[in-house]
Structure 1
Amino acid sequence: MSTTSTQPANSRSRVITASLVGTTIEFYDFYAYATAAVLVFPVLFFPSSDPTASLLASFAVFGAAMVARPIGAVIFGHFGDKYGRKATLVASLLTMGIATFLIGCLPTINQIGFWAPALLLVLRLAQGFALGGEWSGAALVATENAPAGKRAWYGTFPQLGAPLGFIIANGLFLLINFAMPADDPSQKSDAFLEWGWRVPFWFSAVMVIVGLWVRLKLVESDAFKKAEAKGTIRKLPVLEAFRTYWWQMILGTFLMLATYVLFYLMTNFTLTFGTKPQTLPEGGDPATFVPGQGFAYTDFVIMQIIGVVFFGIFTMVAGPLADRFGRRKTLIWVTSAIVLFGLTFSFFLMPRENPVGEGTYWMTLAFLIIGFTLMGLTFGPMGALLPELFPTNVRYTGSAIAYNVSSILGAALAPIIALALLSTGGGNPWLVGIYLSAMAVLTLIAALLMRETKDSDYTGDAGEASASHPAP
């Protein structure tokens, strides 16, 4: 084998920047919606006499995007495995950016009635469709261009886009909220509800331009070029993936499950629970009211951002750990810790007589830091682990389907299940923690069943074994 054939097709800085910038933008767009789903969409798009019903409707549209993600995985995976990673990544970024910008332009239900939530749903589905193809492409750009022995380390750069996107999106919402204060800190100002919430969605257009500039400079990886040269590129990669690598897709789906549930509990659920008032609002129905911690929105988001800093740090820590000790062993230990963490929800988040007192503040902050630290440790290795389950000719499709089907089982259902369990528990979140532990047990079983992928022939395995089957 020639020396030149093993060299990365792109420079280190280009690989890191392209994988990091793109996923940061994609996750920023996704989180901008997630934040608005709690703050403004229940009021502007799903108004109801029952605040819980409005919030559930908003979360339902949030979860609908998860259903679109596997469709995006199949479509973008098809083009990524058949024609290359570069054009696919550009298309996913454009789709997400346009959908997000248009959400910021939507009229509300008071202006156009039913069409407002309907259009919001359509654009939300477009967001999910785009994200379905984004992550896998970015992970492949990073890992297919990684030096030997550093695949998990390089794979953490697209993963780092998640905490960075969260910090930028929520930081911008915070700045706007500070600039447009309401007389009542528990409420949003008229200016914020009229147009302030739209600014983060419009801002995504600037970020997309930067991301496109970086990604258009990419060239295809040697791994993909080898698959083309060997004639293993399939006419319909999705059929090849389901026919030959169905077990790897099932395994990958459950390997990601605890990661998704943990993340959406630490973001959406905690924001809802942390900012929900402790006392029954005037005119509210006691039968539907679930008490929370009563923190002001700005205070709680600052706490979340502190936690997400740990998310980012330990995402980067997880890569070298997985390169040194292996993906399987690292995931087994981290997932076991998540199982135990789920059993501590009552200890950290137990309703207290003084819900926003100093003791509650530090207990909640500790809870967020621990949860986001575990999130970084479990999310970081996935950028290498899921693609390593598949050969080059179906790597985009297989990893994308596993990653995004898991989003339905985990992310789409987690906020809704958590609210229902919180109501069942009378405001005590212990059942929510049990739910997390149960999902982590499923991931732990998958980790025990998987083979170690650390030393797999990532560049050389072009899918010759599957290519021996007749082309579909």
Structure 2
Amino acid sequence: MVAEKRVKEQTGDAGPHLTATDGKPLNSPAEVIAASLVGTTIEFYDFYVYATAAVLVFPKLFFPSSSQLASQLASFGVFGAAMIARPVGAIVFGHMGDKRGRKTTLVVSLLTMGIATFLAGCLPTFQQIGLLAPALLLVLRLTQGFALGGEWSGAALVATENAPADKRALYGTFPQLGAPIGFIIANGLFLIINFAMPGEHDRGMASDAFLAWGWRIPFLFSAVMVIIGLWVRSKLVESETFKKAESQGAVVKMPLAQTLRHHFKAVVLGTFAMLATYVLFYLMTTFSLTYGTAPNPPKPGSPAGLNIPYTHFVLMQIAGVVFFGLFTLASGPLADRFGRRRMLLVVTVAIVIFALMFPLFLDDKSGGFGRMAVVELFLIIGFTLMGFTFGPMGALLPEMFPTNVRYTGSAIAYNVSSILGAALAPIIATALWGAAGGSTWMVGVYLAFAAVLTLVALVFTKETKDIDFSDDLGVPVV
């Protein structure tokens, strides 16, 4: 089999815009942006609601133990279990998306995530039903991961397959924006509830009412957001790119087999290209919340943290996530101009440098406004780098695969990386923090190592910005 060349010879041609027979786009830019952004916002909101509860609530209510560190690790273990389910979701939803189209698949994934999150808000606790409580939480968490395994890739394809060829990275940033927006909504809602139900002696601590039922509100609120998302996505029309693959008989019976047989190298490179992004994000969110709010002096059996009240630290994180969103959007035009690979190489080197500076930002636990300012600077830098590395992925991964396996290939790469990065990052970082006696230098080395692996993957990945999406049966450019 002779490999088809997928890079266009004339890079100055912006490529065809996706149009209907009357010359108008099948999906308007507003519809594309809304459908890709709203869905991922809801999906990431659901994911972050658990991530916040995994730090704030679940260790007490579902994983009680004499050791606070053991309870936290158990909670993170269930959090990470969802990442294991994500590749399964990628295979199932990827098969649906490459066989039946992107639109239907996105609706099903969104509905699955919403139901699982809503039911998590209805669960009885360990005190009420014993070990069955964490077992049911694990099942629902796995369902969340299964749904998210199909969501991101579908949203990225809706954005990029409906984009002008010279603006695919820009369009690809809109599903990526769902991550910072979902984070802000989820944590903002937790903050509002926490302020409305302050602790008796400390407003920054969870009250009895919050632990009894207040934490459930963000989970139950997911139902409202899902209804909105389903309404937005119901207005979409299937992309011309997928319709062309159907009309040419390019749709394959077994997208997974086709992907692994002909595009395995692209899957491996895409997986490791995402690794630093995942590790960085979950260190900046889940681990940093644990480290930032941990008491100093520490409780027996636990390492010392920054002793910043929960409400204060989440507000600091939200301020940092604003930079995440801004620079995610800014990364699109830069990646369209300079190329995805070139931009990501520079950003990943910056992540290595940032990782090795962790102790300078975090290891002084003396407290005071000056220390909080330094920690805020740490969060801003980390989330800015996150925006620059996460934004171009919305275009890079779909561009590494042809249309007939694009959903499956990009979803598998994205979600297998979640096991190596997101699933393990909070657990490894927490264990390294404990092993280093409260210092973060080992956590920084862990991030630097992940970034080096990403650099290696990027070195072996060819530039994809000039891929022609109308070349439906081409081989990946790797």
Same fold flag (TM > 0.5): yes
Q: Which residue of 1 aligns with 2:108?
A: 91
Match of 2:418 among 407, 431, 434: 407
Q: Distance in 2 between matches of 1:451 and 1:216?
A: 36
Q: Which residue of 2 aligns with 1:345?
A: 358
Deviations 1:362-420 (A, max 9, x none): 11000000000000000000000000000000000000000000000000000010011
Q: Which residue of 2 aligns with 1:102?
A: 119
- Please tell me whether residue 27 in structure 1 is matched to residue 44 in structure 2: yes
- Please tell me whether residue 36 in structure 1 is matched to residue 53 in structure 2: yes
Q: Distance in 2 between matches of 1:164 and 1:71?
A: 26
Q: CA deviation at 1:7?
A: 6.4
Letter in 2 for 1:334: V
Q: Distance in 1 between matches of 2:175 and 2:194?
A: 29
Equivalences for 1:128-277 in 2 at 5 Å?
128-185=145-202, 187-277=205-295
Q: Which residue of 1 aligns with 2:3?
A: none
Three-state SS of the structure 2 residue aligned to 1:195 is: helix
Q: Distance in 2 between matches of 1:444 and 1:104?
A: 40
Q: Would the aligned equivalents of 2:165 and 2:468 in 1 still touch at CA under 8 Å?
A: no
Letter in 1 for 2:150: G
Q: Would the aligned equivalents of 2:157 and 2:398 in 1 still touch at CA under 8 Å?
A: yes
Q: Which residue of 1 aligns with 2:456?
A: 445
Q: CA deviation at 1:465?
A: 6.3
Q: Would the aligned equivalents of 2:263 and 2:475 in 1 still touch at CA under 8 Å?
A: no
Three-state SS of the structure 2 residue aligned to 1:150 is: helix
Q: CA deviation at 1:100?
A: 0.2
> What 5-or-longer segments of structure 2 have no aligned partner?
1-14
Three-state SS of the structure 2 residue aligned to 1:280 is: coil
Q: CA deviation at 1:289?
A: 1.7
Q: Which residue of 2 aligns with 1:470?
A: none
Q: CA deviation at 1:187?
A: 3.1
Equivalent pairs counted in the alignment come to 458
Match of 1:301 among 303, 314, 336: 314
Q: Distance in 1 between matches of 2:413 and 2:393?
A: 11
Q: Would the aligned equivalents of 1:292 and 1:351 in 2 still touch at CA under 8 Å?
A: no
Q: 1:2 to 1:390 in 2, by over 3 A?
A: closer
Three-state SS of the structure 2 residue aligned to 1:152 is: helix
Match of 1:385 among 373, 396, 410: 396
- Please tell me whether residue 426 in structure 1 is matched to residue 449 in structure 2: no
> What 5-or-longer segments of structure 1 have no aligned partner?
467-472
Normalising by structure 1, what TM-score?
0.95
Q: CA deviation at 1:184?
A: 3.2
Q: 1:79 to 1:363 in 2, by over 3 A?
A: same
Q: Which residue of 1 aligns with 2:334?
A: 321
Q: 1:65 to 1:277 in 2, by over 3 A?
A: same
Q: Would the aligned equivalents of 1:351 and 1:427 in 2 still touch at CA under 8 Å?
A: no
Q: Distance in 2 between matches of 1:214 and 1:414?
A: 34
Normalising by structure 2, what TM-score?
0.94
Match of 1:82 among 59, 74, 99: 99
Q: Which residue of 2 aligns with 1:359?
A: 370
Q: Would the aligned equivalents of 1:8 and 1:147 in 2 still touch at CA under 8 Å?
A: no
Deviations 1:67-120 (A, max 9, x none): 000000000000000000000000000000000000000000111111100000
Q: 1:207 to 1:190 in 2, by over 3 A?
A: same
Q: Which residue of 1 aligns with 2:472?
A: 462
Letter in 2 for 1:449: F
Deviations 1:257-295 (A, max 9, x none): 0000000000001000000001133xx3xxx22000000
Letter in 1 for 2:458: A
Match of 1:56 among 53, 57, 73: 73
- Please tell me whether residue 435 in structure 1 is matched to residue 446 in structure 2: yes
Q: Distance in 2 between matches of 1:465 and 1:265?
A: 35
Q: Distance in 1 between matches of 2:165 and 2:95?
A: 27
Q: Which residue of 2 aligns with 1:469?
A: none
Q: Which residue of 2 aligns with 1:45?
A: 62
Q: Would the aligned equivalents of 1:97 and 1:208 in 2 still touch at CA under 8 Å?
A: yes
Three-state SS of the structure 1 residue aligned to 2:165 is: coil
Q: Distance in 2 between matches of 1:110 and 1:296?
A: 26
Q: Would the aligned equivalents of 2:205 and 2:309 in 1 still touch at CA under 8 Å?
A: no
Q: CA deviation at 1:224?
A: 0.2
Q: Would the aligned equivalents of 2:401 and 2:475 in 1 still touch at CA under 8 Å?
A: no
Q: CA deviation at 1:351?
A: 2.8
Q: CA deviation at 1:148?
A: 2.7
Q: Percent identity?
A: 69
